[in-house]
Chain A
Amino acid sequence: MASKLPKQTLSLKQFLLRQEVLKLYRDIIRTLRKVPDESTRLELKEWARTDFRNNKHHSDETTIKSMLHYGRKSLDDLRKSLALSDS
């Protein structure tokens, strides 16, 4: 992940990638709100948090993109299992 200090300016690509990551994080937290069980919800939140933070330091575009892909896939799985448990 490119550096997040506001003093350093990022190139457009880096900036866009950063926005993608933040949007994904936000979507994950929003979807997690719908989890009915309280303890599972906290667990999943912690998991997402640590995952994002551990991978914060990447600066290589390809790595960031693959992480994004993995994150989006996980979010899709979460949404599908939520939809299944609701019906």
Chain B
Amino acid sequence: MAAVNFVRSAFNGLLRKSTTYKCAAICRLSTVALQQKCPIKPITNSYNIEHTQNVVSLRKRQYATGPVHKITESEIQERVIKVCKAYDKLVTVQNVKISRNYCHAPPLTLDLLRQRVILVLQLYDKINPEKLSLDSHFMTDLGLDSLDHVEIIMAMEDEFGFEIPDGDAERLVRPRDIVQYVADKEDIYD
């Protein structure tokens, strides 16, 4: 209330003194006064000050109390979905349910394991696929050297997703050994 009176009187005084720069002066003083007493934005919105022909009149006052109506959860959901739909990268947002899917690795049987090991070995360019069997020794039967051996073991690490330490890797000299090792690590018993 005091602020309003202060502002009013300031306006009147300024109107008489500064006729050319009416707007600027009034604005400045009003903002200073308002800043001192209250935050600018709600007040400037609420006090719709009309400036017509040297008459400054306060048109209307608007006060807002708390939230007008309580927001319900369904309303929140609708609004979220609406925003999601508006986003162009989401193709269909029909029923946005929060669902989490976790999946384990594909079930690994001993047979599948064997097939995967043989497949990786066949893909290796230095191995002759015809000579390859589960029991062929890398160095003596397939003619590979230790560098190739390292590469093969690394390929197995990539395939099965776990690291094989150096000490263990040394002992794996046949595909059958590799199958056995991975089965031990992954607990496959059939």
Contacts and interface: CB of A to CB of B under 8 A. Distances in A.
Interface stretch (B29-37, B45-53, B145-153): B145-153
Interface size class of A (residues with CB under 8 A): 10 to 19
A26 B155 CA distance: 11
A5 B147 CA distance: 12
A52 B147 contact: yes
Contact of B150 (A5, A26, A33): A26
B154 interface: yes
Interface of B: 139-140, 145-147, 150-151, 154, 158, 166, 169
A18 B146 contact: yes
Contacts of B145: 4, 56
Contacts of B150: 22, 25-26, 29
A29 B166 contact: no
Contacts of A18: 146
Contacts of A6: 139-140
Contacts of A26: 150, 154, 166, 169
A30 interface: yes
A53 B151 contact: no
B146 A53 contact: no
Interface of A: 4-6, 18, 22-23, 25-26, 29-30, 33, 49, 52-53, 56
Contacts of B166: 22-23, 26
A56 B144 CA distance: 13
Contacts of B146: 4, 18, 22
A72 to B, nearest CB: 16
Given A6-B139, A23-B166, A29 B147 contact: no
10 tightest A-B CB contacts, nearest first:
A4-B146, A29-B154, A4-B145, A25-B150, A26-B150, A22-B150, A52-B147, A6-B139, A22-B146, A25-B147
A56 B151 contact: no
Given A25-B147, A56-B145, 11 more contacts: A4-B146, A6-B140, A23-B166, A26-B169, A29-B151, A29-B154, A30-B154, A33-B158, A49-B147, A49-B151, A52-B147
Contacts of B151: 29, 49
28 contacts: A4-B145, A4-B146, A5-B139, A6-B139, A6-B140, A18-B146, A22-B146, A22-B147, A22-B150, A22-B166, A23-B166, A25-B147, A25-B150, A26-B150, A26-B154, A26-B166, A26-B169, A29-B150, A29-B151, A29-B154, A30-B154, A33-B158, A49-B147, A49-B151, A52-B147, A53-B147, A56-B145, A56-B147
A69 to B, nearest CB: 19
